Amino acid sequence: MARTITYQQAINEALDQEMANDPSVILMGEDIVGGSGADGEMDAWGGPLGITKGLYTKYGDRVMDTPITESAFIGAAVGAAASGLRPVAELMFSDFMGVCFDQIYNQAAKFRYMFGGKAETPVVIRTMYGAGIRAAAQHSQSPYSIFTHVPGLKVIVPSNPYDAKGLLIQAIRDNDPVVCFEHKSLYQSEGGVPEESYTIPFGEANVVREGGDVTIIALGLMVNRSLEAAEALAADGIECEVIDPRTTSPLDDETILESVENTGRAVIVDEASPRCNMATDISALIAQQAFGALEAPIEMVTPPHTPVPFAGSLEDLYVPDATKIETAVRRVAGYSR
Amino acid sequence: MALDREELLHIYRVMKTIRVFEERIHDEFATGEIEGFVHLYAGEEASAAGVMANLTRDDRIASTHRGHGHCIAKGVDVRGMMAEIYGRITGVCHGKGGSMHIADLDEGMMGANGIVGGGPPLICGAALAAKVKGTRNVAVAFVGDGASNQGTTFESLNLATVWNLPAVFVAENNGYAEATSSKYSVGADSIADRAAGFGMPAVSVDGHDFFAVYEAAGEAIKRARDGEGPSFIEARVNRYFGHFEGDAQTYRGPDEVEDLRANRDCIDIFTAAVTTSGDIALADLEGIDRDVLGLIDSAVAEARSAPRPGADDLLTDVYVSY
């Protein structure tokens, strides 16, 4: 039975239902409870944006506040996963990957391969990403392509409440390390979410909008922006197909290529910095495997190659918006040799 | 906790196996047949043996890049280890990890680690798992004097303390982090004292003395098992070989290694200690020596003649499923 809830509630529900389902699921992160060791209330925060609120009250010790020591607690989540638990650790801002990257990059990702198949590391790392709230350079990045680059990791980028719950439950049940990127501006977005538990398989893109003229591939918050652009374009008779890959590792190559084979025109919208992001990765895929179908060069709509600026006037120029997406679509739609 | 005759003979066997294994790798590596990097533990045997004598198969350890000794003492198959170092498919990691990532999770060995300080956070995790599952198992992180400076180590000492984890941290201070002396790079006078600052019991012991290590480790491990939280042990050891094989060790004093071998060898010290009472004769130990030589000989021969992993093996075991 589906009802309308927020992305935040969907994440909370996924965690709640999996914790009820499996005693080996534990949570850890900075202030995911809030109040540890202090004289006031416990569960004071439930995470910086309240995502995990109520879980300590329900599950007690299985929900752990951590000191601000990412290397130690992300590493502990990894070590605990390799030792039979199913930890879900929160890396508060994906920008903080710098202080714990080794434990993800050289440890979690590589145990199974380096140890010849004996290791299973079912750790989930949930992390906030994305620009738009004037949080500036060190709290606004979108580094999912960096994790996608690493063999041994899986990466998911849910764009709506339904996908958030289903992908996160899948991630918790998955036996490989998964990094879940949640756009901070999506937490209050609403959508239909079934009450019961369900999973969404990795490597299955969602065709959010069908259309035969131009294929738009977009992730996270950019899915909504692309849909906005698609509506405006439809008024001019340009029908866009909007594809949300949902997971970047594994990536649903087939759905993307099938669409481009049909439309011959591709625009990829990626909020991440332009060098070596998902747009470049998907462009290479299309150029290599759908070259014959292409009627126009592939377009990428991305921010400029700069850190994320603070001032609102600058940040609004930085993050791709519906207008920029529209412009790119018109360019490929109108292109002829 | 007194060790009986059988246990003492076993300990001798463990230390001797490590010594002969490492000396043999030193010789074989020089022929060029072993690829990559190896970091030998010869000289430090009493530390590995002293700690591991207090552990069971279900307890977990994480090692450093200098992991062969920890592996052997923990019970990882010696033949599998040799094959791994030779890059063969019969290796304990099917040739996918090599010397620096040698591991066997079935034996509770969470791996040698190519990242200095990579182990302590993982051990916090293993200890957390033991605590959550209520198993009374413990987790031991080995670090060197180099890793004792790493942020990951400090963070792990703190995390283990605030979460009251059944963890033990053992710093094998061999005086050198690669080519740099610990006198230069460790700011405190004592690595143990520095660890004590994190709020856990911390001692410094002579790592050449099996019994000193065994006792200190025994206390620390019991404390952890009893739910009383983490401890730190600094074992003062010395390595005979270089940081890596190929390291000429010119940064060490002129007769430093020779003196150590002649006057402070931990296996000699152990031998002297256990043969004084008359319960164990030199002949008993010599019998073990022959066994060990035979084991290492056959391990090398088997490794050399085993097949190497091929194209099919390249792509396996990246994920459980993808």
pLDDT at residue A93, as a whole number: 96
Q: SS3 for B86?
A: coil
> Is position A58 within any domain?
yes
Contacts of A98 by beta carbon, 8 Å cutoff, 6+ apart: none
What residues of chain A, 102 to 131, have a C-beta less than 8 Å from chain B?
Answer: 102-103, 106-107, 110-120
Asked whether residue A29 is domain-assigned, the answer is yes
What tens digit of pLDDT does each residue of B138-167 get?
Answer: 999 999 999 999 999 999 999 999 999 999
Check if the beta carbon of residue A134 is closer than 8 Å to that of residue A163. no
Domain identity same for A271 and A235: yes
Q: Give chain B's radius of gyration (CA, Å).
A: 19
State the smallest CA–CA distance between residue A76 and chain B in angstroms. Answer: 4
* Cα–Cα distance measured from residue A274 to residue A278, given in angstroms and rounded to the nearest whole number: 9
pLDDT at A72 over 80: yes
B103 interaction partners in chain A (CB closer than 8 Å): 111, 114-115, 118-119
CATH code at position A263: 3.40.50.920
Same domain, A54 and A90: yes
Q: For residue B169, what pLDDT is reported?
A: 98
Query: Mean pLDDT over residues A179-194, rounded?
Result: 98
Q: Are residues A183 and A216 in the same domain?
A: no
Q: What pairs with residue B201 in β-bridges?
A: none
Q: What is the mean pLDDT of residues A145-171?
A: 98
Residue A262 — very low, low, confident or very high, per pLDDT cuts 50/70/90? very high
Would the pLDDT of B310 be above 90? yes
Domain that holds residue A299: 206-333
Residues of B in contact with A74 (CB under 8 A): 121
Q: What is the pLDDT of residues A274-303, one digit of tens each?
A: 999 999 999 999 999 999 999 999 999 999
Mean pLDDT of chain B: 97
Find, in chain B, the residue whose alpha carbon is nearest to that of A114: B97
Q: A156 with A255, same domain? A: no
Crossing angle for the helix pair A322-333 and A221-234, to the nearest 10 degrees? 50
- The C-alpha atoms of residue B187 and residue B235 are separated, in whole angstroms, by 18
For the question of residue A139 being annotated catalytic, the response is yes
| Statement to judge: residues A16 and A54 lie in one domain | yes
Q: Chains A and B: how many Cβ contacts under 8 Å?
A: 157
Number of domains chain A contains: 2
pLDDT for position A337 = 83
Residue A201 counted as domain residue: no
Do A181 and A210 belong together in one domain? no
Is A199 within the bounds of a domain? no
Helices (H), A174-216: none
pLDDT value at position A35?
86
The residue from A165, A194, A223 where one domain ends is A194
- With a cut of 90, say whether residue A38 has pLDDT above it: no
A147 and A25 fall within a common domain: yes
Give every strand in the sheet of A178-183, ordered side by side.
A63-65, A25-29, A86-93, A124-129, A178-183, A154-156, A247-249
- How does residue A41 score in pLDDT terms, banded at 50, 70 and 90? confident
For residue A140, give how far its alpha carbon lies from the nearest alpha carbon of chain B (Å): 25
Domain boundary among A167, A194, A221: A194
State whether A96 and A156 are in the same domain. yes
In this prediction, residue A318 has a pLDDT band, given cuts at 50, 70 and 90, of very high
Average pLDDT of the residues in B275-284: 93
Place of tokens 């289903």: A166
Q: Does A279 lie in the same domain as A329?
A: yes
CA nearest A68: which of A123, A26, A108, A29? A29
Selecting from A62, A69, A114 the residue whose C-beta is nearest the C-beta of B96 gives: A114
| Closest alpha carbon within chain A to B155 | A72
B170 φ/ψ angles, rounded to the nearest 5 degrees: -115, 115
Boundary of a domain, candidates A194, A215, A233: A194
Q: Averaged over A14-19, what is the pLDDT?
A: 98
Q: What is the CATH number of the domain that holds A16?
A: 3.40.50.970
Co-location of A97 and A152 in the same domain: yes
pLDDT in tens, B59-97: 999 999 999 999 999 999 999 999 999 999 999 999 999
ipTM reported for the complex surpasses 0.85: yes
User: What CATH number should be reported for the domain whose range is B5-314?
Assistant: 3.40.50.970
- For residue A119, being part of any structural domain is answered with yes
Strands A247-249 and A154-156 turn out to be antiparallel
Q: How confident is the model at residue B1 (pLDDT cuts 50, 70, 90)?
A: low
Q: Do B104 and A73 touch (CB under 8 A)?
A: no
- Per the model's pLDDT, the better-predicted residue between B279 and B42 turns out to be B42
pLDDT score of B217: 98
**Of A78, A79, A76, A82, the residue nearest A64 (C-alpha):** A76
